[in-house]
Amino acid sequence: MQHIPVLVDPMLEYLAPAKRVIDGTLGAGGHTKALLGAGVDEVLGIDCDPAALELARTTLAPYGGRVHIAHNSYVNMRDEAARLGWGSVDGILLDLGMSSMQVNTPERGFAFMHDGSLDMRFNPQSNQRTAAEIVNTYPADELADLFYKYGEERNSRRIARHIVEGRPYTTTRQLAAVIERLVPRHKRDKIHPATRVFQALRIAVNDELDAVESVLPTAIDLLRPGGKLAVVSFHSLEDRIVKQIFKHHAMDCVCPPEAPVCVCDHHASVRLVTRKPIVADADEIDRNPRSRSAKLRIVEKLS
């Protein structure tokens, strides 16, 4: 299934038109295509997944030299911008998480509904550990912590114990089946019982939360005064990080409330454009159910 980009109109409202924009999560190039169509002169598109870049190259071929594509982690966006001689940019977009192509390619191992190898690396060429390595080698208590911390899974201990008893696993269905047996699905449940465990494994494999924490200060630093950073997140763990880092950078003082005078010498580097996140309307959710959990937050760089 083709990936449908989310919240395109609000994203364009703040990032276009412009001279130079970085799309740190290029995917199949849907957002970048919209940016180029809305009058952005040049886009640097970065993705760590080589398969996504192949698709983006095809989608964006008509735009020729206005698009620069880089196979890298968005964490390294400063280096990629420097390669183009870009010291600062007008806008940066991060559309976090995984794409529909990744979920719908069984051999990538992201989906519990398809059978595929338990991989889950966004960049299969990297030497990061795979989901199989984690479930087959971590002690039960570490697995439980991981499911709780990254999946907010309430049955984390019980699930981890059963997973350890059923080792080894090589495929997504083998792992999902253990969870399905343990946590039977009730009609009223909105999500499949393996959803949280799969989310936790994906976050751990790709070190996703650390990547978000590390890229946001870099991205803010790369913006020219008046430039905007737009971040779309798909779950509360990511959104919390985005919200807190944006808030921290928007404050003029970060001293503890009990401090009698300010000693932090911290100055706001951004203005919060969105106090509450922008979410998809009913029409968009109808067209693209994946947009239901999307939250868009935007900051503007101060001079």
Ligand X SMILES: C[S@@+](CC[C@H](N)C(=O)[O-])C[C@H]1O[C@@H](n2cnc3c(N)ncnc32)[C@H](O)[C@@H]1O
Residues found near ligand X in the complex (CB under 6 A): 3, 5, 25, 27-31, 46-49, 52, 73-75, 95, 97-99, 122, 206, 211
Give least dist CB 228 to ligand X, A: 16
The full length of the chain comes to 303
Give least dist CB 263 to ligand X, A: 35
**Closer by beta carbon to ligand X, 126 or else 137:** 126
Give least dist CB 29 to ligand X, A: 6
Pick left, alpha or beta for residue 30 (phi over 0 → left; psi -120 to 50 → alpha; otherwise beta).
Answer: alpha
Distance CA 140, CA 138 (A): 6
User: Given the DSSP bridges, would you call strands 223-233 and 295-301 parallel, antiparallel or unpaired?
Assistant: antiparallel
**Closer by beta carbon to ligand X, 49 or else 284:** 49
Kindly report the backbone phi and psi dihedral angles of residue 301, in degrees, each rounded to the nearest multiple of 5, phi listed first.
Answer: -70, 135
Distance CA 206, CA 297 (A): 22
Q: Which two tokens stand for residue 155?
A: 């049955």
Angstrom CA distances, 254 to 47, 247, 262, 300, stand at 34, 10, 8, 19
Residue with tokens 């309307």: 281
**Closer by beta carbon to ligand X, 94 or else 143:** 94
Give least dist CB 166 to ligand X, A: 30
**Closer by beta carbon to ligand X, 124 or else 166:** 124
C-beta separation of 48 from 17 below 8 A: no
C-alpha closest to that of 234 among 92, 97, 31, 29: 97
Give least dist CB 63 to ligand X, A: 14
**Closer by beta carbon to ligand X, 160 or else 241:** 241
Q: Which residues are within 8 A (CB) of 79 and not within 5 positions of it... i.e. 6 or more apart?
A: 72
Give least dist CB 68 to ligand X, A: 14
Distance CA 101, CA 79 (A): 27
Distance CA 204, CA 211 (A): 11
**Closer by beta carbon to ligand X, 111 or else 160:** 111
**Closer by beta carbon to ligand X, 20 or else 31:** 31
**Closer by beta carbon to ligand X, 34 or else 159:** 34
User: Given the DSSP bridges, would you call strands 270-272 and 295-301 parallel, antiparallel or unpaired?
Assistant: antiparallel
Distance CA 195, CA 183 (A): 11
Give least dist CB 115 to ligand X, A: 22
Give least dist CB 67 to ligand X, A: 13
Distance CA 149, CA 51 (A): 29
Q: Which residue number has the CB closest to ligand X?
A: 27
